Structure 1
Amino acid sequence: MEIKWAPNAFVRLTLPLMAGILTYLYWGENLPELLPLVGVLLVLFGVVHGWATCQKGPAATDAAGLLAVLTVYAAGAALTQQATESRAPDHLYRFGSRVEFYRGVVDDYTVVRPATYATTVRVSAVRVGGQWRPARGGIRVSVPREATVTAPQYGDVWLVRGAPAPSKPPLNPGEFDYRRYLEYHQVYHQQFIHPDQYQQIATAPPNWLRAVAMRAARVLDGVFRHYMHAKREYALASALVLGIKDEVDQETKQAYANTGTTHIMAVSGLQVGLLFGAVTWLLGRLPGRRGPWFRFVAAALGLATIWSYAFLTGLSASVLRAAVMFSFLILGRASGRQTSMYNLLAVAAFCLLCYDPYLLCDVGFQLSFLAVLSIVYLQPRIGRLLHPKAFFLGQQRPWQPKAVQKGWKGLGWSFDKIWQATALSLAAQVATLPLGLFYFHQFPLSFLASNLVAVPISSGAVYVGLGLLVLKGIVALVGVGSGQVAAVLDWLPRIVAGVFEWLIWLFNEYIFGIGRLLPGALISGIHVTAPQAWLMFAIILAGLVFFQLRRLPWLGVACALLGVLESSRVWAAYQLAPDARLIVYSIPRRSVVGFWQGAAAEVVTLDSVPLTETERTYRIVPGSIQREARQVYHRPGWRGCPVPAQVLEPGLTLTAWRGVQVAFVSGPLSGARAPLPGLEAIVLRRNARVTPATLASIFGTAAPILFDSSCKSWYVARQDSVLHHAGFQTYDVTARGAFTVRAQR
């Protein structure tokens, strides 16, 4: 059969490109240099393509097509290989801890946290052995947020003393793999920098266009800050229109996550799509719109609008991604050809992945393209299931008054819009469901009720917010010529700002209201593995094929895959039920131990101070989700805990749980105590003042010595060498992560 590349040629090119990228991500370390292979394949493709052109047979064409797919596949792996910065001979990894100083430039937005500023510094040179050498590499740095410390700005060139440390892997079970996240952004090191450890020596933005764009975004943010009085409304306004979420509090973020409306706060496809829709609507009402050159003028204006907006929002990654997608849509329309939406999406994805192959690992990239793809395919099909407009128009009768007939028509129009919006929301959820469960472990049942009202209100707010910025810009221009006239005209942006603030307030109150009205509508704690997520995608795909072809075998395939998915979950629960383990957690400055039996746990904070919500959310809860735990009890101290714990003397507590004995030492020990052999571990807490001889006389040297996270780094460094010399094995929980002991079954 002859392979046809049209009308979705780029779909068939993008898929092997993605496959090549995934191949490198999973097995890249074992692959040789791939660029020569791509060159050979390109030459071979040219030869085979020339032969196929002369032969003009299906076999020759198929051979050329398959070779093209293989070439794109190899190119995907090669592009990812070239984009992997750690392979460079002058990467920071090559210098290790020998770095005395390094010079780098701030190359990212600054994230404002309660106690620190966090950003990324790109290194250009390091000093090793007193000599400066060229180097490259990204470092995720944190600096204390103090009155004397200025927030890092894009383009600041720093001279930093000390060597950065390689990024740490997850320290606790199920914890978010921040190291892998950073590696996907070509950042392999982290460092906390004290104020006396660095100084700004110059300003040299890596990209002047981006620097100007980021400054423009901050200027526009200042407009919202000036005109909006309520802090929460200002924070949401800036997030909604400009994508700046520094001031959005955690309670608001959680409320939006619980109702499935977090995407509204992220400036991306929604805002760019609204601008595109507004420009299209306005251009459709201009005279001469049927002229031969109008579509090119419309395309130019559309591109200018969305890229101007991308510039004014700081050229953030999410906006750039959406701008590229809509740019190809505009260009496709301007070409005057019947272009497939799937092909346009594939072109956008292909170009973005060629620019940065690691975008394939970006959650926003995955969700954006899957949501748009699902909307393009499913929304018309779901929308055709009901016909509210035809139903209400069918209620009209010739003898009814005109007002009643108009009422039926209005109801038909209104319910049709509501149903189409419902169809769009349902379509977007279908394809993104597996990813939502895999990444966020929850599903908001209230997403329909939330989005049906929140999206229209937020859309109106975006238009009003942009109108406020335009009005303020006009007033500022007038102020250049006449300050008095500008002061008089300032009442216009103030009125618009009042409307804008009211819309934001209404939008926010509705989201919080949905949360209060439907407190149990969020299903959380769902654990889905990567293979299970792929199975879910396969089930959805088989179901869609069944509905399209109406053939029962495809329904059988979907049911069989569903059976495999559920069997995997049942088997995982069966395997987990008898699993018992003791975990000494790695939580900064805390002593925390967990006793896990299947899906139940007792988590004890040995310092008798309850864990904060942040500590529980980021350190304990991921492991609970991984085990799909339903009974997790947090105990501040041993009181009320069913796990046997015996205080043998001040500073020494012994626990015995399911055959596992662990000693917790927090103070000096009496060397006269009878020996306690058979321990699985000895945990040193709070810089316990003990000597190797005392520990050996009481516990022996067989059990490993654990330094928990309450121990200071200087204490660990000093005791570690002494204990090693005495014959002990040691384990630093802070540096190496949680320590786990499996109990007897």
Structure 2
Amino acid sequence: MRNRPALKILIPYLAGIILADRFDVNLIFLWFLSVICLLTIFFMYKKRWLSLSSAFLFVCFIVIGFMRYEIDMIPPRNIDRVVYQDVGVYGTVIGSQKERSGGSSVLIDAEAFPQYNPYIRMKSKITIRSWTDDSLSERYRQGDTIGLYGRLTQARNARNPGEFDYRKFLQRQGIFGIIYLNDEKIYQLGSGGSVFLRWIDSLQRKIGAVITELSSDYETESIFRSLILGEGGDVPLDLYRAFQKTGTTHVLVVSGVNFAILAGCGYWFFNAIRKYVLRIGKYKTLLEKEIITYIPVFIIIVIYLLVANREFSVFRAFIFITLFILSVIINRDRDIFNILAIAGLIILLFIPGAFWNAGFQLSFVAVASIAYLMPYLDTQLKKTKWFR
């Protein structure tokens, strides 16, 4: 790991997150411990005790990972006075999707208050879930402001050792409440958010309309929506189970392949335009450097990131492609493990609970395995007469 500094940081930081999920430690003590570690590292570095300072730096990153996870899991203020009460809720839509088990859901960044005392407020992400209405994800888009009255509950926690803890799963994403819709009415208080978000939403709808027009049946449409837009909830349950039986559900997500194809085609197209303009003798000073080609490519992949359903595989692929482009621009060696570690660090710094998401784990393990095994397999295949 001599030339992989990001990996040296990721390993202890990740260890801290894992330990924080198993043990509960007072945050004040953790802050005190981190300060002691930093002062010790500074002292040892001054004394040129490099081995000891490296060991304490390792411990320091463990403590930082521990603290970051603990801070993210702190429940919102007044949660015990608002949950399991009839409440009023209003907030901004930050996500919506169809559910494969039926119905649909909307995720909002909201404020909730009990109807008996509107001065008690709880700020948190809240999921609004309907078991029968499939249109929530179509009626309410990112940036819309909505409100409703209903009963705020929490997901069921694990009741037996080893059982899946759905409550903790949601809390790791910052979701501390659920409202299940029966006859409750949702009021739309505002729409659209910023002009840019409205444009992204419009682009997403247009791509969806093109997919619908070109598809021969609903199953085909649902597969293409999942592959291109990341709308996996549209795939019918029986079709999804067929993919499960064949072990190919991983193809029903937006992944690095999408970004690689988009970036590759974009680079080829804009580089061809750049060379053509240079041949006719225009803008030589501006276009003589190949770096200019990467600017529109980067803009395209940013737009695609916002259009696609932002799962962890999408973020990993976006960060990976972005770092790869940056390494080309600044002419640095491209170590795939270091780039992968940076992508993991960026995601875990913002969402430390992401580590426990199966999509996050499979996404990174799959890419790391390919990167590790491919050079060996390539060498072995070249030794056989069939691949010479």
Q: Compared with structure 1, are the counterparts of its residues 162 and 129 closer, same or farther at alpha carbon in structure 2 (3 Å cutoff)?
A: same
For 2:56, which of 51, 67, 70 is the aligned residue?
Answer: 67
Matched, 1:83 2:72: yes
Paired letter, 2:96: Y
Matched, 1:261 2:252: no
Structure 2: distance between partners of 1:241 and 1:74: 39
Matched, 1:275 2:259: no
State the partner residue of 1:367.
362
Report the Cα offset of residue 15 of structure 1. Answer: 0.4
For 1:230, which of 217, 220, 223 is the aligned residue?
Answer: 217
Structure 2: distance between partners of 1:172 and 1:156: 39
CA contact (8 A) 2:320 2:343 kept: yes
Q: How does 1:154-165 map to 2 (within 5 A)?
A: 154-165=142-153
State the partner residue of 1:383.
378
Matched, 1:221 2:203: no
Report the Cα offset of residue 168 of structure 1. Answer: 0.9
Paired letter, 1:363: A
Structure 1: distance between partners of 2:126 and 2:73: 15
CA contact (8 A) 1:119 1:140 kept: yes
For 1:241, which of 225, 228, 243 is the aligned residue?
Answer: 228
CA contact (8 A) 2:104 2:135 kept: no
Q: After superposition, what is the alpha-carbon deviation per residue over 1:418-444, rounded to whole angstroms, capped at 9, x for unaligned? A: xxxxxxxxxxxxxxxxxxxxxxxxxxx
CA contact (8 A) 1:102 1:161 kept: yes
Paired letter, 1:229: S
Matched, 1:186 2:180: no
Q: Compared with structure 1, are the counterparts of its residues 326 and 180 closer, same or farther at alpha carbon in structure 2 (3 Å cutoff)?
A: same
State the partner residue of 2:104.
117
Paired letter, 1:351: I
CA contact (8 A) 2:144 2:192 kept: yes
Alignment gaps of 5+ in structure 2:
279-284
CA contact (8 A) 1:105 1:204 kept: no
CA contact (8 A) 1:213 1:315 kept: no
State the partner residue of 2:156.
168
State the partner residue of 2:37.
41
CA contact (8 A) 1:143 1:192 kept: yes
CA contact (8 A) 1:105 1:122 kept: yes
Q: How does 1:338-737 map to 2 (within 5 A)?
A: 338-387=333-382, 391=385
For 1:297, which of 292, 298, 303 is the aligned residue?
Answer: 292
Q: Compared with structure 1, are the counterparts of its residues 357 and 173 closer, same or farther at alpha carbon in structure 2 (3 Å cutoff)?
A: closer
Paired letter, 1:168: R
Q: Compared with structure 1, are the counterparts of its residues 39 and 237 closer, same or farther at alpha carbon in structure 2 (3 Å cutoff)?
A: same
Report the Cα offset of residue 278 of structure 1. Answer: 3.3
Structure 2: distance between partners of 1:295 and 1:114: 49
State the partner residue of 1:8.
4
Q: Compared with structure 1, are the counterparts of its residues 116 and 312 closer, same or farther at alpha carbon in structure 2 (3 Å cutoff)?
A: closer
Matched, 1:105 2:121: no
Matched, 1:143 2:139: no
Report the Cα offset of residue 238 of structure 1. Answer: 1.6
Matched, 1:250 2:237: yes
Report the Cα offset of residue 105 of structure 1. Answer: 3.4
Structure 1: distance between partners of 2:296 and 2:51: 42
Of the two structures, which has the highest relative contact order with CA contacts closer than 8 Å and spacing of 6 or more? 2
3-state SS in 2 of match to 1:336 = coil
CA contact (8 A) 1:155 1:206 kept: yes
Report the Cα offset of residue 109 of structure 1. Answer: 1.7
Range with greater deviation from structure 2 (7-16 or 345-354): 345-354
Q: After superposition, what is the alpha-carbon deviation per residue over 1:405-425, rounded to whole angstroms, capped at 9, x for unaligned? A: xxxxxxx6xxx7xxxxxxxxx
Q: After superposition, what is the alpha-carbon deviation per residue over 1:263-302, rounded to whole angstroms, capped at 9, x for unaligned? A: 22101222112223434556777748xx997452344344
Q: After superposition, what is the alpha-carbon deviation per residue over 1:528-571, rounded to whole angstroms, capped at 9, x for unaligned? A: xxxxxxxxxxxxxxxxxxxxxxxxxxxxxxxxxxxxxxxxxxxx
Q: Compared with structure 1, are the counterparts of its residues 279 and 350 closer, same or farther at alpha carbon in structure 2 (3 Å cutoff)?
A: same
Matched, 1:177 2:172: no
Q: Compared with structure 1, are the counterparts of its residues 298 and 368 closer, same or farther at alpha carbon in structure 2 (3 Å cutoff)?
A: farther
Matched, 1:132 2:98: no
State the partner residue of 1:439.
none
3-state SS in 1 of match to 2:120 = strand
CA contact (8 A) 1:97 1:163 kept: yes
Report the Cα offset of residue 170 of structure 1. Answer: 5.0
Structure 2: distance between partners of 1:145 and 1:76: 41
Paired letter, 1:335: I
CA contact (8 A) 1:45 1:68 kept: yes
TM-score (norm 1): 0.46
State the partner residue of 2:282.
none
Identity of aligned residues (%): 19
CA contact (8 A) 1:8 1:342 kept: yes
Paired letter, 2:157: P
For 1:153, which of 129, 138, 141 is the aligned residue?
Answer: 141
Q: After superposition, what is the alpha-carbon deviation per residue over 1:596-633, rounded to whole angstroms, capped at 9, x for unaligned? A: xxxxxxxxxxxxxxxxxxxxxxxxxxxxxxxxxxxxxx
Structure 2: distance between partners of 1:100 and 1:346: 43
Q: CA RMSD in A?
A: 3.3
Structure 1: distance between partners of 2:74 and 2:3: 37
Residue-pair matches, total: 376
State the partner residue of 1:445.
none
For 2:324, which of 325, 329, 332 is the aligned residue?
Answer: 329
